[in-house]
Amino acid sequence: AIEGSISAGNIAEFILYITMLMFPMMAIGWVASIVQRAGASQKRINEFLDTEPIIINRDGAINTTLEGNITFKDVSFVYAHTGIKALDRFNLDIKAGEKVAIIGKTGSGKSTLVHLLLRMYDASKGTVSFDGKPAKEYDLQCLRMQIAYAPQEAYLFSDTIYNNIRFGRADATDTDVKEAARLADFEKDIATLKEGYDTVIGERGVMLSGGQKQRLVLARALLKNSPVLLLDESLSAVDTQTEQNILNNLKSYIRDKTTIVITHRIFTGWDFDKIIVLDDGHIAEQGTHEQLMALNNRYAKLYKHQTEISSSV
């Protein structure tokens, strides 16, 4: 090349070297881009990890077994990020072992009550109490471990059915897990699966139907055998017959438990001690089924409408 002559081999060699350099040069830019994005992501992760929890234990927090008495006294709650007032001077007294249904349309404040009971939030005004003591005085872990909660939206892990149910109580035996599945009317579904309880259900339970997910989460809650049971629209995705089976199974299970059922429709399988009809954060009606039917107002109209729909199906 110095003498002014370039052979075909020199050209091929030059092209080969250029080609060999191209990918590393491109990779440098690619890596630099990834590092920049990773830095931005890490900043957001650090902000999350450094966030101080608002709900914390007080000094000398109570760590004791709950009897199941629950009181809402002049409770108001406003969501800080939206300014929406979900509850306004709400009062309710639930005795240990009582069965209470809370009925209302979307946005009436039903789920807010659950969040306050679990201390996901604290009331803006008023007091939520357990056994006569404000919820704020209880140890958070102690309180939440004694409340079995079955939400509408199931959160499941990419693990076996057995481990997903047992997540509710680490010391549960095989017999306990199977009994919880039976109560949730989920045992028959498990029996149809080739791997049974060892079936891996995928991330967020992708291998299961909506109704199966809800029943698995219900079984997880029932396994805890806590003195307080919260069912928040936890049967909304199951068919009528399955719902009736579950309600029948749970009659003896809930006999000595404080049970609160959050729903937008009426459960006909249980005799509730109290039925609360919520509207815009207020109690619109309150009483037993017979008392509310005699009023011939919101509850009675909803019951008649639901009965008509059931009859026409």
Whether residue 119 lies inside any domain: the answer is no
Convert the pLDDT of each residue in 203-223 to its tens digit: 888 889 989 999 999 999 999
Kindly state the average pLDDT of the residues 216-237: 93
Say if 223 falls within a structural domain: yes
Report the first-to-last Cα separation within the chain, whole angstroms. 91
- Asked whether residue 7 is assigned to any structural domain, the reply reads no
pLDDT at 228 over 80: yes
Contact indicator for 66, 131 with CB cutoff of 8 Å: yes
* Residue 311, pLDDT above cutoff 70: no
Does residue 126 fall inside a structural domain? no
Residue 245 counted as domain residue: yes
Please compute the mean of the pLDDT values over residues 134-163 and round it to a whole number: 92
Tell me the per-residue pLDDT of 28-86, one tens digit each, with 9 for 90 and over. 888 888 888 888 888 889 888 888 888 889 888 999 999 999 999 999 999 988 888 99
In this model, does residue 186 exceed pLDDT 80?
Answer: yes
Q: How many domains does the chain have?
A: 1
**Which residues constitute the domain of residue 188?**
99-113+136-312
Write out the DSSP string of 111-157. Answer: HHHHHHHTTSS--SEEEEEETTEEGGGB-HHHHHHTEEEE-SS----
DSSP classification of residue 233: S
pTM over 0.85: no
Q: In DSSP terms, which residues pair with 75 in a beta bridge? A: 90
- Per-residue model confidence (pLDDT) at position 47: 87
**Does some domain include residue 73?**
no
Whether the Cβ atoms of residue 156 and residue 213 lie closer than 8 Å to each other: yes
Band of the pLDDT at 267, cuts 50, 70, 90? Answer: confident
Residue 208: give its domain's CATH number: 3.40.50.300
Average pLDDT over every residue of 174-178: 95
